[in-house]
Copies of this chain bind each other. A is one copy, B any other.
Amino acid sequence: MKTPRSAATGEERLIARHFRPLATHPGALGLIDDAAVLSVPAASELVLTVDAVVAGVHFFPGDPPDLVAKKALRVNLSDLAAKGATPAGFLLSLALPQSVDDRWLKAFTRGLRADAKAYGCPLLGGDTDRTAGPITISIAAFGTLPKGAMVHRSGARTGDRIVVTGTVGDAALGLALRRAGNARPWRLRPRERAHLSARYLLPQPRNAIAECIRKYATAAMDVSDGLAGDLGKLCAASGVAAIVDVARVPLSPAARRAVAAEPRLIEMALTGGDDYEILAAVPPRAVAALRSKAKAKGVPVTEIGTVVRGKPAARFRDREGKQMLFKRLSFSHF
């Protein structure tokens, strides 16, 4: 329970030293108030999301603190991107074990500060507590977009194309690699191993194309729990089915080599988590425009399937047109 300590200002010092430099938004009030204040332009509305990362669950306790900070923020930025929203700021809730020292916090806030700047998403406020458990970082992030413009999961219509950004499965393979330790499986080159590991360690959210998603997608979400399961959720929300040609699902060269060495890995790639790509349904006539606009922003978009009438579900076909059955559709903590 709360045990007062002699240095009453320990928490204030911690905030002043590590977090105040991040409070660049005027509404953060230098982190000296109980709350932050945010204006939302009259023609806009606010998009709100929250995601936590927990040591031992979402990252390894020994991961570099600056990358842990970036991951914690980016998993939220990815949600904003998929909804078509422009980042406006975030609140940070930290539960820290005694083992976390000044050096860890310094690196953590360095990472957080860099990404807050890079993505235009400043710290608005926060809360820091002690825990007897693992480091727990919960971030609530806010974005804005024109009123009524949020891209929901529920808007996919029969005939829409299913598209996905970037490549799928890298992070899941990267996690498997880390678990394998020195076993070095799948005949990967060092550069390929590094690529997959980096994709697990640090998501690359697609905020650069949030506006394109808003303009062209009928439905969208970020792929955080695995393509197969997440597409299933989009289908359920939209009341449609989707058929995906697995051969069209974009894999990185590293993932392709791993799957070539061990074909069953395709299931890991399609159902593993942490991709943080955008999955969207797009009317056929809009696919080319989305691809070209996104490409101009440096984001590859690949058409992988079609929305069809039928019992809401995501169906994956192999090269022979046979439906693939997965042991599990996506990651779940519960």
Residues of A within 8 A of B (CB): 1-2, 4-14, 29, 32-40, 42, 45-52, 54, 56-58, 60, 79-80, 82-83, 85, 91-93, 95, 124-134, 136, 138, 140, 142-143, 147, 150, 152-154, 175, 178-179, 221-222, 226, 229, 233, 236-237, 271-274, 327-334
Which of A32, A85, A150, A334 has the most chain B CB atoms inside 10 A of its CB?
A334
CA distance A32 to B232 in the complex (A): 12
Number of copies: 2
A34 in contact with B91 given A46-B46, A131-B133 (CB within 8 Å): no
The residue in chain B whose Cβ has the minimal distance to the Cβ of A330 is B8
The 5 closest A-B pairs by CB, nearest first: A133-B133, A10-B334, A140-B140, A42-B42, A93-B138
CA distance A142 to B222 in the complex (A): 25
Which of A39, A93, A134, A179 has the most chain B CB atoms inside 10 A of its CB?
A93
CA distance A214 to B165 in the complex (A): 47
> Is B7 within 8 A of A35, CB to CB?
no
> Is A334 within 8 A of B14, CB to CB?
yes
> Is A140 within 8 A of B93, CB to CB?
yes
Closest-CB distance, A319 to chain B (whole angstroms):
25
